[in-house]
């Protein structure tokens, strides 16, 4: 199970820039706490947060649609694929079926998988807008395992964020953390991970399953 933002694409700061810009344009009150609070939320959750906590005047559905539109424009101009991500995905796809479990909207997931060429490696993908709760709840990982026909307890998840790590552990998965340097997980979340890597380039079959080496 791969997360998308922060694991395969360097996009957390792009989300922040787009949401902050929208908040400032629409009379909202942006602060650094908003970035951490919204990390891992599903689109219904963070768009409500943008309305209720940040003070953007539109309805959540309109907020989400506008943020997605702006992100699509950015991604089509330049997709911020993390160095080594494609190779890591391809290495693991040679050994196991893969799924993507992301907080991104479905439109963005599909755009990234298509434009990067990574879609051919994934047998399933799930957006947290398609489940009841976003991360740190385990729902998106549990659903990804279901779509693969796999027991969550026999799956491994690759995550970069505090809420993502907590979600993967709550799903009962072997959790591999690649801490986001710009939004580092807290010590408690990192302590919950089974493996901590410096970069996605270090991800290989032996990290997922030492017996596979």
119-165 pLDDT, tens digit per residue, is 999 999 999 999 999 999 999 999 999 999 999 999 999 999 999 99
Q: pLDDT confidence of 211, banded at 50, 70, 90?
A: confident
The dihedral through the CA atoms of 18, 21, 25, 29 has a sign that is: positive
d(CA 147, CA 135): 18
Domain boundaries, the chain: 12-77, 85-212
Strands 156-159 and 195-196, by their bridges, are unpaired
- Mean pLDDT over 94-123 rounds to 97
Nearest alpha-carbon partner for 86 in 213, 202, 197, 201 = 201
Instruction: For domain 85-212, give the fold.
Output: Rossmann fold (3.40.50)
pLDDT of residue 97: 98
Torsion of CA 135, 137, 140, 141, to 10 degrees: 110
CA 74 to chain centre: 17
d(CA 25, CA 42): 23
Is the per-residue pLDDT at 213 higher than 70?
Answer: no
Count CB-CB contacts under 10 A for residue 122.
18
- Report the helix count and the strand count for the chain, using DSSP H and E: 10, 5
- The CATH architecture annotation of domain 12-77 reads Orthogonal Bundle (1.10)
Helix axes 12-25, 60-77, angle to 10 degrees: 130
Enter the tokens of residue 127. 């957006």
Is the per-residue pLDDT at 168 higher than 90?
Answer: yes
Task: Write out pLDDT tens, residues 1-14.
Answer: 999 999 999 998 99
Q: pLDDT confidence of 210, banded at 50, 70, 90?
A: confident
- Mean pLDDT over 98-107 rounds to 96
pLDDT of residue 203: 98
Task: Write out pLDDT tens, residues 35-83.
Answer: 888 988 999 999 999 999 999 999 999 999 999 999 999 999 999 999 9
d(CA 66, CA 101): 22
pLDDT of residue 36: 84
Q: pLDDT confidence of 23, banded at 50, 70, 90?
A: very high
Which residues, other chains included, contact 53 with Cβ-Cβ below 8 Å and sequence gap of 6+?
34, 37
- Cβ–Cβ < 8 Å for 152, 173: yes
Angle at 23 between CA 50 and CA 48, to 5 degrees: 10
pLDDT of residue 196: 98
pTM higher than the cut 0.75:
yes
Strand partners, 2: 100, 158
- Cβ–Cβ < 8 Å for 128, 106: no
- Cβ–Cβ < 8 Å for 131, 124: no
pLDDT of residue 32: 81
């Amino acid at each position: 199970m791969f997360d998308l933002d922060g694991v395969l694409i360097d996009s957390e700061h792009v989300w922040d820039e787009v949401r902050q810009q929208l908040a400032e344009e629409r009379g909202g009150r942006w602060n650094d706490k908003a970035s951490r609070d919204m990390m891992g939320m599903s689109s219904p959750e963070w768009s409500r947060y943008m309305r209720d906590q940040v003070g953007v005047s539109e309805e959540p559905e309109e907020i989400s649609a506008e943020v997605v539109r702006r992100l699509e424009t950015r991604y089509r101009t330049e997709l911020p694929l993390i160095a080594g991500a494609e190779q890591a995905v391809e290495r693991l796809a040679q050994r196991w079926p893969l799924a993507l479990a992301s907080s991104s909207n479905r439109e963005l997931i599909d755009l990234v998988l298509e434009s990067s060429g990574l879609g051919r490696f994934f047998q399933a993908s799930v957006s947290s807008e398609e489940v009841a709760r976003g991360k740190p709840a385990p729902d998106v990982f549990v659903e990804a395992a279901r779509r693969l026909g796999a027991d969550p307890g026999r799956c491994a998840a690759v995550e970069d964020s505090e809420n993502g790590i907590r979600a993967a552990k709550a799903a009962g998965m072997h959790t591999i953390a690649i801490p986001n340097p710009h939004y580092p997980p807290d010590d408690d979340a990192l302590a919950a991970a089974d493996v901590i890597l410096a970069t996605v380039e270090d991800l290989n079959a032996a990290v997922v399953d030492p017996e596979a080496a």
